[in-house]
Amino acid sequence: MVLLLRSETKWLPAHTRTSAVPSATTSSETLSSCPAATASVKPVCRGGGDRNIQECPVCKKVSSKREQCCDLVLRNLCEAFLLERDHASSSDSEALCSLHAEKLKLFCLHHQQPVCVVCRDSKTHTNHSFRHVDEAAQEHREKLQKSLKPLQEKLKLFEEVKGKFDQTSEHIKVQARHTERQIKEEFKKLHQFLQEEEEARTAALRQEEKQKSQKMKEKMEALSREIAALSDTIRATEKQLKAKDISFLLRYKAAAERIQQRPLLDDPQLHSGALIEAAKHLGNLSFNIWNKMKEKVCYTPVVLDPNTAGPDLVLSEDLTSMTFGDEQKLPETS
């Protein structure tokens, strides 16, 4: 709802006018000079001059101010506001009975409410017990304070627990980073072992390849020499066979001796160990590596828990041993 304040020319919303929410200072300064200072002010001309003079239409008082607060309703609102505020400030110190307009001096223990002396003698409070307001207020304050104490203690406990929870939250982050670093170090060791094992096995394979390739090369060179010698003998003999009879017979003896001096050798064959022994390199490879890895790692049936260790105990990185050291601040866990 928007309150409209009437001006000389038009209706304006209250929030567009200055002092729409009046204070004591504003009302006292604005309304003290004239009872109708907040009324509509209009300019008039006196003495035949051309100078405009601000005159109040209610009291006819001339004002030297060029701008006036032009609203009578606003003055009424200010006065109503001041009255209501004064009434609210005095209501607590002079609390009156809503039925008899008497001061509330007694407290009914049966109805648990303040009453006046007239209410005490009324039929409503027959055979009821009463206390003086001061005594009842003190008694009920002590009772309420006693009821409040467990809540205050519980609040203090909760705040202490919250502080421990905050500390635990930070410790969890530190613990996670430390554990992550240890995990990476352990896998780094395993990766290093596997890499070294891979390099050793590939080096053995290349060595075997080199040795057997060299033997095969030697055999091929020897076979090539034998093929060349046989080819020479065959070509010479075939040439001799194509010669004329007399020439053939004259050289027959030498050709026969040359053939006899070149005995037929056994057919060359690959021996069983000529190829790469793939079975030796690949057979049970994972098991052999794992079996060899057991020499690098060990199983510990008992592992120490850092979360339950005493604050003056320092555990080893693999959690298998401990030593005494400076006391550490660790979160308490149940």
pLDDT tens-place string over residues 23-67: 444 444 444 445 444 444 444 444 444 455 566 666 666 666 555
Query: 325 or 281: which carries more pLDDT confidence?
Result: 281
The residue written with tokens 């003495």 in the block is: 47
Residue 203 pLDDT exceeds 50: yes
pLDDT at 256 over 50: yes
| pLDDT at residue 202 is higher than 50 | yes
Phi-psi region of 128 (alpha: psi -120 to 50; beta: other; left: phi over 0): beta
Q: Which residue has the higher pLDDT, 307 or 166?
A: 166
pTM, two decimals, is 0.48
pLDDT given at position 103: 86
Query: Is residue 148 within a helix (H) or strand (E), and if so which, with residue range?
Result: helix 133-241
* pLDDT greater than 50 at residue 192: yes
SS3 assignment, position 199: helix
What stretch of H or E contains 286?
helix 285-293
Of residues 275 and 82, more confidently modeled: 275
pLDDT of residue 120: 81
Eight-class DSSP state of 332: -
- Structure-block tokens of residue 165: 């929870």
Per-residue pLDDT, 285 = 92
Split at pLDDT 50, 70, 90, the class of 332 is: low
- Per the model's pLDDT, the better-predicted residue between 254 and 213 turns out to be 213
pLDDT digits (tens, 9 = 90+) for 85-141: 666 555 555 678 888 888 888 889 888 888 888 888 888 888 888 888 888 888 888
Q: Do 205 and 281 touch, CB atoms closer than 8 A? A: yes
| pLDDT surpasses 70 at 208 | yes
Confidence grade of residue 217 (pLDDT, cut at 50, 70, 90): very high
**Amino acid identity for residue 142 in this structure:** E
Share of the chain above pLDDT 70, in %: 73
Continuous segment of H or E residues that includes residue 11:
strand 11-13
Indicate if the pLDDT at residue 17 is higher than 50.
no
Q: What integer pLDDT is reported at residue 36 of this predicted model?
A: 45
What pLDDT is recorded for position 107? 86
Q: Model confidence at 5, in pLDDT bands (50, 70, 90)?
A: very low
What gap in Å lies between CA 51 and CA 54, rounded to an integer? 10
Q: At which residue do the structure tokens 């057991």 appear?
A: 294
Average pLDDT, the chain: 76
Structure tokens at 1: 């709802």
The SS3 call for residue 323 is: strand
CA distance 166 to 68: 62
* Cα dihedral 313→314→315→321 (10° resolution): -70
Question: Among candidates 309, 291, 299, 320, which has minimal Cα distance to 182?
Answer: 320
What integer pLDDT is reported at residue 209 of this predicted model? Answer: 93
Which residues neighbour 329 within 8 Å (Cβ) at sequence distance 6 or greater?
A: 311
Residue type, 77: L
**Furthest-apart CA atoms within the chain: distance in Å:** 177
C-alpha closest to that of 133 among 113, 162, 153: 113
- Report in angstroms the alpha-carbon separations of 168 from 157, 171, 174, 183, 313: 16, 5, 10, 22, 19
